[in-house]
Structure 1
Amino acid sequence: MRTAATLPLLATCALLALAGCDNKDPVPPAPRPDAGTRPDAGTGQDAGTEQDAGTEPDGGAVQGPAVINSTPSEGETNVLPVELFKTEATTTGVRKRVTLIFDTPMDTTAAEVTLIDRTTPTNPPRTLTGTWLEYGLMLLVDIPRPESDLPPLEEETAYTLELSGLRSAEGHPVDTSHAGLGDGRLDFTTGRRDGATEHACAHALLESPVPVTASASPTIYPATDASHEFYALTLPASGASFLGYTEVVSGESRDEPVVLYLNHPVPVTVHDTTEGEDAVASTLEPARPVCLDAISHTLKFTAPGGDRFLRLTFGPTALETFTFVFERY
């Protein structure tokens, strides 16, 4: 009895016989793909072909929050160990502030971090509580004095800020494999204190500034050269900006390094006008962050000895009034 499967074979042979087919064994047709060659349940698109639970990210693969920026930065050296701030009308306090910025909102009920002294491991870790800002994206950690006679951080010391107690708003811990911190901890090393800027900060934070109006004339101008003085300088209008002049008289016997501790990056040029118009080299640069709200930049130049008359040109600038502490060294 012929089965349905033999019918296609006989039909093929009959066609070949018309073209001269002999009695040799017939060539079977190419096999059809069977169920074993079709996409199986693991690769199809229907209910049986969806990826199973083993191929989908599970709870353990969820990436935790990461620190995307910090002050100090990861691995930074020569970090300032002491900062000044105003506590009362006649008092300054000291601290070190650390800022951490995360890539996702954090659980603001969890704000404790741990400060570890890696240079002197025998010093006990310090638990600190930060303050969340910017909708849980920024954490400010103020490091106070550990004792009344000690600075917030020691000089030339390696520290780690442990962040394992923090978590995202969804409850995930800080990512310990992110390129930012790597191990989920902030590591940095302090440098030396900046005593000169600390001294200037005390003037800027606690004293009322002496008001001075700069001159609009490059030939007659007021003096702003008293050591340890805190000035509030007002500049005359000059077109759409402000520009003015003041005077510094150098010491008699020696060249003197001079520093103006400014609260804004105001451009300043210096000229020795004793005999003519000789430019005096000066540099304007960011100040060390001892008291950034009061002092952000420094202007430095050397006043040549011999009672030389120096003219300072402030501006042009968009600022009409700004402050600075004047210091000779």
Structure 2
Amino acid sequence: MRTVATTTLLATCALLALAGCDHDDPVPPTPDAGTRPDAGTEPDAGRQPDAGTQPDAGSVQGPAVIGSTPSEGETNVLPVEMFKADATTTGVRKLVTLTFDTPMDTTAAEVTLVDRTTPANPPRTLTGTWSEDGLTLSVAIPRPESDLPPLEEETAYTLELGALRGTEGHAVDTSHAGLGDGRLDFTTGRRDGTTEHACAHALLESPVPVTASASPTIYPATDSSHEFYGLTLPASGTSFLGYTEVVSGESRDEPVILYLNHPIPVAVHDTTEGEDAVASTLEPARPVCLPAITHTLKFTAPGGDRFLRLTFGPTERETFTFVFERY
């Protein structure tokens, strides 16, 4: 038998069911883990600007040397070069040039020369001259003292470039393949005394004018020792070609060198009894006094008063100079 209380409770529940409700309390929806903001989708420290990707003073590449005279590590470098100091005297120096891959700060032009063979010799601070475009520095190394050459023979030197800067202020790159350590290293050889002697003639004397012959049978002589000749060649078609004579010595074969200011082709023939070719070599001269002497022609004149014909050309040059020397 149901009690009154039980009947009343059932009636109440029936009314609630008719209203669409049940006995459970409302539960607010909970956000799904899949719809929540994920730490993986938030800005990540790994995606933020990283100190390792920012410009780094240590990673900025400075200007690099892409060419030099002498070249890096070169040996047998000529230690003395000559130039015309004034109308009656010559001077000596050594020229070094450095070419960079980017324009440089032309207000900074000091380099330091270090004698690695004799460390007791103090380093020398030298000031170079920049080209107009700021890419090439020319350094003239003078005598350290009035009675000493610019550079000693057979000596290892280093030219330190630490004071040079690019236009943005960066030092010379010390890892570039050109110089490696950012310094120019080279070793001198012996002086070239014979070319120095010829340079004195070419720099200070006025050339003796000679017009070469257009005929291969009659031609003027150009065979005086220590003479500085200015030769003019006759026209031959669209180029120039001419002949001169050299008479050899009486008693012995003589090495002969013509110190030329241009690479003029020259053929040598012994015409004493016939038309015999004499071996000769045209080659670049050592750079003792460029551009006064740029090339040498070498041959041996056979002894016995032999008559040699020199054929100059064909060449595009009508005039040139040379110093004639017998040894």
TM band (smaller chain) = 0.7 to 0.9
Q: Which residue of 2 aligns with 1:167?
A: 165
Q: Which residue of 2 aligns with 1:257?
A: 255
Match runs of 1:85-234 below 5 Å: 85-234=83-232
Relative to structure 1, is the Cα distance of residues 37 and 318 closer, same or farther in structure 2, using a 3 angstrom cutoff? same
Instruction: Compute the RMSD of aligned alpha carbons.
Output: 1.9
Matched residue type, 2:171: P
Matched residue type, 1:309: F
**Structure 1 residue 55: Cα displacement:** 1.4
Matched residue type, 1:166: L
**Structure 1 residue 152: Cα displacement:** 0.4
Q: Which residue of 2 aligns with 1:295?
A: 293
TM-score normalised by structure 1 residue count? 0.87
Runs of 4+ in 1 over 6 A off after TM superposition: 1-6, 31-34
CA distance in 2, matches of 1:226, 1:262: 15
**Structure 1 residue 54: Cα displacement:** 2.8
CA distance in 2, matches of 1:39, 1:223: 96
- For structure 1, list consecutive stretches of 5 or more residues without a partner in the other structure: 7-30, 44-48
CA distance in 2, matches of 1:253, 1:227: 16
CA distance in 2, matches of 1:39, 1:252: 102
Q: 1:255-314 deviations in whole A, cap 9, x for unaligned?
A: 000000000001111111111111110000000000011000000000001111111110
Say which SS state the counterpart of residue 60 (structure 1) adopts: coil
Matched residue type, 1:125: P
Match among 302, 306, 323 for residue 304 of structure 1: 302
Residue-pair matches, total: 300
The answer to whether residue 44 in structure 2 is matched with residue 41 in structure 1 is yes
Q: Which residue of 2 aligns with 1:16?
A: none
- For structure 2, list consecutive stretches of 5 or more residues without a partner in the other structure: 1-26
Say which SS state the counterpart of residue 202 (structure 1) adopts: helix
User: Percent of aligned positions with the same letter in both sequences?
Assistant: 82
CA distance in 1, matches of 2:302, 2:60: 65
CA distance in 2, matches of 1:275, 1:80: 43
TM-score normalised by structure 2 residue count? 0.87
Specify the structure having the higher radius of gyration (Cα).
2
Say which SS state the counterpart of residue 61 (structure 1) adopts: coil
Q: 1:133-159 deviations in whole A, cap 9, x for unaligned?
A: 132111110010011100000000000
Q: 1:144-189 deviations in whole A, cap 9, x for unaligned?
A: 0011100000000000111101111111111111111111111100
CA distance in 1, matches of 2:88, 2:226: 17
CA distance in 2, matches of 1:74, 1:115: 14
CA distance in 1, matches of 2:36, 2:158: 64
